[in-house]
Structure 1
Amino acid sequence: MISKYKIPFFAALALTLLLSGCVTKKYDRPNVKTEDLFRDLKGTDTVTMATMPWEELFADAKLKALISKGLAQNVDLKNAIENIVQAQATLKQSKLGYYPTLSANADITHAKQSKAALNFPAGININTLTDVYRAYLSTSWEADIWGKISSTKRMALASYLQTDAAKRAVQTQLISDIANNYYALVAYDEQLRITEQTLKSRIDNIEIVNALKEAAIVNGAAVVQAEANRYAAEVTIPDLKLSIRQTENALCILLGQAPGPIDRTTLEDQTVPQTLAVGVPSQLLENRPDVQQAEMAFRNAFENVNLAKTYFYPSLTLTANGGASTLSLDSFFKQSIFYSIVGSLTQPIFNRGLNKQRLTTAQSQQVQALNNFQQTIFVAGQEISNALYSYEMAVSKQESRVKQVEALTKAVDYTEQLLQYTSTTNYTDVLTSQQSLLAAQLSGVNDKLQQLQAVVNLYRALGGGWQ
């Protein structure tokens, strides 16, 4: 039965717990702007390619093998996973804050006191030199009245979720980087093939021009121009080979391996999805890892404000000590047992403004975190809009580029024939058409590359690659 003296204590405790709910607040996602993020796209279909596994997005088996290898070996991704391990350990530690501490202690005290200071009457002989031996346990527990420990735990949880989102952001970026570099590599291969084929054609063309000079159809200037045209193509080959080597080495870094050759297919083998579903802007809050990371950073700052508020209120701490003490080791277990239990209530009154400045700083950091959260969403919308438009422009150029290459191919054939059989053209026309054809062919490769990379960038911008 509860005595009448304990009733006020329990009433005070109940009132304290009731008031504690007014100190800290429950987290709710802030209102952030997601409207019109996709600019001109006004859709309501929630189907999005972000939920598509990356194995389904890419059809090239060699590219998929490289992505799998990168996910297993990439150093940045491994470090991101270790960050999760560290955050998980911090979270486990914060959960233990509800439990009391317990420690074992042993100490020896050697003390000498002054006889004069003791002020005993004359004739009394007192041993002023003593040794005290103690072995005891001590424990301490702080009641989570105002939610200080709970807020600390929720901060640790937000940090853990933040590192998990960061790891997924690294993963989506890694998949994007591997795919984009792979596409760039096969594009360089195709440009090298076209350039080497053009070089062979121009070397053959020099022989034709020499024959035409022998027949007095062209002069020596045409021969020199043909040779210069040959070298104009030849000089670009080392640069293409350098780009290939550098891209291979960049891919090896992404794969977490030493520089070396990359097994690959061709640009012609690459395909893109028939439809690009982007869903609705609000889905970025659930699909895009860096947006989730920014939200968890805000949640961490929110709980830090809760924690800062608790420092204005009293803390209740219970401490206890218990063990044995003796003046001689020989009789250690025969001497007295001692214990103490102390309950302390500490209310901050003047702390040199520390609590107030802690709260002001935490509130300011919360505002910054909210701003960063909103900015991350805006950046996501920008990247999606850019990737969509880049894809659309690449597709719109394809038909015109094909017609341009066909027309320039005919122009080269016609001018070469006219040079041999009529005097209505000169070798400058042949050079112009040949150079324009090569430029159009290389630009056509860039158009296909732009289309492929736009799909990859859109997939990453929507948050695909981690599901």
Structure 2
Amino acid sequence: MKFSYKHSILIGLSILTLSACVTKKYERPQVKNEGLYRDNNTTDTITMANLPWKNLFSDTTLQSLIQQGINENLDLKQAIERIKISEATLQQSRAAFLPSLQGDLSVTDNKASAAAQNFPAGININLETQTYRAQLSTAWEADIWGKLSSAKRAAYATLLQSDAAKRAVQTQLIATIANSYYTLLALDKQLAITEQTVKIRMQDVETMKALKEGAVVNGAAVVQSEANLYAAQVTLPDLRRSVKEAENALSVVLARAPGSINRTTLDQQTPYTNLQTGVSAQLLQNRPDVIAAEFGFRAAFENTNVAKTYFYPALTLTASGGLTSLQLSNFFDNSIFYSLVGGLTQPIFAKGANKARLKTAQANQQIAFYTFQQALLTGGQEVSNALYAYQTAAEKEETRAKQIASLTKAVDFTKELLRYSSATNYTDVLTSEQSLLTAQLSGINDKLQKLQSVVNLYRALGGGWK
């Protein structure tokens, strides 16, 4: 019977039909992706996640540090190497469709025992022989049930997952550098205010001593002013240590030895105000860890397909051929051999290996699905938390400014009253000064919270990798 092109098409369609009966086509699972942002029911799809990170940060010094981090950060470099591993795995899975080919060149020396042959006396037979052999062998497995195709798709999904994971590392890196930078600026401001407070309280001590000499206050006021000075001075070492530790931590993120960090001031920072979140369904396209989680589920889905194919017979073709001779002198004379074998291998009893493989794959697929769900829920939580943090900081800023203004006046008034009225003592001055310092430091934390909440919102939405 003549083999025609129509027969080839028929065989191909039959193989595809058989494959479709065993393996399934991937479809995105049904997960909740609407309404993940609490108290935020916007339908506007414009999101700050699409904003390039250089547009989010106006401080050019911070921009330079972020660029250094992207170029040098060791976590990001590790993520890039993991992509290379996934690429190699994908190339290997693609090559699985091709037949294998190997060469073999061997010399075998065999010698039998004369006593074991039980030859009659007087017979002299050469019991030592050499066999020279050169051969090529090949093997090919037909992808009847879609095992190789599913394995290739799993490898491709893993590659995309590692690429998304790299982008997730980058978004987190940008947020870490920005937040660390703002923390450092806040510590600088806290240190500057505390140092200024120390200078003021040193002047207070001198003033109290002068007032004591004028019999306006007693010795207790002088001692209290000195204690007030020491209370401010004792916080300076810890603040300076915190600055050094923050510099060291940021240096490590930038993949350089611990050292000083070039920076501006907290007063120069202006928080980004156009906080557009888009809709929560956009997390599927914008947030890298969500994207990575879906590709992880997709890889697990294809691995389940692979596990199913082990229950069905495998069609393999093997062939070998070459030259073999007992003498090297006539190695190329009439010494050709070959073999061609085609067969089906059906698993009958594999000691539960195939069942265990399938159950494991199905469980891993379910775990990957839960991880995907968790990534979406976590994304919605982080967006909501960042929005609340920004709103809280904004609300506190205005009230805090009024508090600081009132406390500043209170300090001035009590000091003036202390000079001219016996109804006021230094305890009133001490209380107002302590309250003012606490409010000033809290005001710095308010601005830090506002700056960092913008960064955290940007990262939570998936910004920083586009």
Q: Is the TM value for this pair above 0.5?
A: yes
Q: Match of 2:99, as an amino acid?
A: P
Q: 2-side partners of 1:7 and 1:218: how far apart?
A: 113
Residue pairs, 1:88-99, within 5 angstroms: 88-99=87-98
Q: Match of 2:433, as an amino acid?
A: Q
Structure 2 equivalent of residue 353 of structure 1 = 352
TM-superposed CA distance for 1:129, in Å, is 3.6
Distance 1:434 1:307, change over 3 A: same
Once structures 1 and 2 are overlaid, which stretch shifts more, 245-254 or 107-116?
107-116
Q: Give 3-state SS (helix, strand or coil) of 2:369's partner.
A: helix
Q: 1-side partners of 2:460 and 2:202: how far apart?
A: 46
Identity %: 61
Residue pairs, 1:251-330, within 5 angstroms: 251-330=250-329
Q: 2-side partners of 1:457 and 1:94: how far apart?
A: 39
Distance 1:226 1:116, change over 3 A: closer
Q: 1-side partners of 2:166 and 2:276: how far apart?
A: 25
Once structures 1 and 2 are overlaid, which stretch shifts more, 218-227 or 87-96?
87-96
Structure 2 equivalent of residue 412 of structure 1 = 411
Residue pairs, 1:381-392, within 5 angstroms: 381-392=380-391
Q: Match of 2:428, as an amino acid?
A: D
Structure 1 equivalent of residue 2 of structure 2 = 2
Deviations 1:354-410 (A, max 9, x none): 111111111111111101110111111111111110000000001100000000000
Distance 1:250 1:133, change over 3 A: same
Distance 1:344 1:188, change over 3 A: same
Question: Given the alignment of the two structures, is residue 52 of structure 1 paired with residue 45 of structure 2, yes or no?
Answer: no
Deviations 1:78-104 (A, max 9, x none): 111111111111111111111111111
Deviations 1:11-34 (A, max 9, x none): 777544422111111111111112
Q: What's the RMSD between the two structures over aligned residues?
A: 2.3
Contact 2:34 2:279 in 1 (8 A): no
Structure 1 equivalent of residue 398 of structure 2 = 399
Structure 2 equivalent of residue 333 of structure 1 = 332
Structure 2 equivalent of residue 228 of structure 1 = 227
Q: 2-side partners of 1:368 and 1:230: how far apart?
A: 59
Structure 1 equivalent of residue 64 of structure 2 = 65
Q: 2-side partners of 1:116 and 1:35: how far apart?
A: 88
TM-superposed CA distance for 1:344, in Å, is 1.3
Once structures 1 and 2 are overlaid, which stretch shifts more, 155-164 or 16-25?
16-25
Q: Match of 1:425, as an amino acid?
A: T
Q: Give 3-state SS (helix, strand or coil) of 2:132's partner.
A: strand
Deviations 1:322-348 (A, max 9, x none): 111111011111132111111111111
Q: TM-score, normalised by structure 2?
A: 0.95
Distance 1:10 1:62, change over 3 A: closer
Structure 2 equivalent of residue 86 of structure 1 = 85
Q: 2-side partners of 1:423 and 1:148: how far apart?
A: 94
Q: Give 3-state SS (helix, strand or coil) of 2:372's partner.
A: helix
Distance 1:10 1:27, change over 3 A: closer
Distance 1:392 1:108, change over 3 A: same
Structure 2 equivalent of residue 157 of structure 1 = 156
Identify unmatched segments of 5+ residues in structure 1.
none
Residue pairs, 1:202-221, within 5 angstroms: 202-221=201-220
Deviations 1:401-460 (A, max 9, x none): 000000000000111111111122111111000110011001000000000000001111
Contact 2:49 2:464 in 1 (8 A): yes
Q: Give 3-state SS (helix, strand or coil) of 1:333's partner.
A: coil
TM-superposed CA distance for 1:8, in Å, is 9.9
Q: 2-side partners of 1:310 and 1:132: how far apart?
A: 42
Q: 2-side partners of 1:363 and 1:137: how far apart?
A: 40
Deviations 1:134-175 (A, max 9, x none): 101111111111111111111111111111111111111111
Question: Given the alignment of the two structures, is residue 464 of structure 1 paired with residue 460 of structure 2, yes or no?
Answer: no
Question: Given the alignment of the two structures, is residue 171 of structure 1 paired with residue 170 of structure 2, yes or no?
Answer: yes
Q: Match of 1:391, as an amino acid?
A: Y
Q: Match of 1:279, as an amino acid?
A: G
Question: Given the alignment of the two structures, is residue 27 of structure 1 paired with residue 12 of structure 2, yes or no?
Answer: no
Contact 2:97 2:148 in 1 (8 A): yes
Q: Give 3-state SS (helix, strand or coil) of 1:334's partner.
A: coil
Q: Give 3-state SS (helix, strand or coil) of 2:312's partner.
A: coil
Q: Match of 1:142, as an amino acid?
A: E
Structure 1 equivalent of residue 452 of structure 2 = 453
Distance 1:417 1:104, change over 3 A: same
Contact 2:106 2:134 in 1 (8 A): yes
TM-superposed CA distance for 1:233, in Å, is 0.7
Once structures 1 and 2 are overlaid, which stretch shifts more, 248-257 or 415-424?
415-424
Contact 2:414 2:428 in 1 (8 A): yes
TM-superposed CA distance for 1:109, in Å, is 2.8
Q: 2-side partners of 1:178 and 1:51: how far apart?
A: 19
Q: 2-side partners of 1:316 and 1:223: how far apart?
A: 98
Q: 2-side partners of 1:416 and 1:382: how far apart?
A: 49
Contact 2:396 2:446 in 1 (8 A): yes
Q: Give 3-state SS (helix, strand or coil) of 1:368's partner.
A: helix
TM-superposed CA distance for 1:122, in Å, is 12
TM-superposed CA distance for 1:115, in Å, is 8.8
Q: Give 3-state SS (helix, strand or coil) of 1:98's partner.
A: coil
Structure 2 equivalent of residue 195 of structure 1 = 194
Q: 2-side partners of 1:92 and 1:443: how far apart?
A: 56
Number of corresponding residues: 466
TM-superposed CA distance for 1:112, in Å, is 4.5
Identify unmatched segments of 5+ residues in structure 2.
none
TM-superposed CA distance for 1:111, in Å, is 3.2
Distance 1:152 1:241, change over 3 A: same
Q: Match of 2:379, as an amino acid?
A: A
Structure 2 equivalent of residue 37 of structure 1 = 36
Distance 1:13 1:120, change over 3 A: farther
Distance 1:13 1:244, change over 3 A: closer
Deviations 1:283-311 (A, max 9, x none): 11111111111111111110110000000
Question: Given the alignment of the two structures, is residue 424 of structure 1 paired with residue 405 of structure 2, yes or no?
Answer: no
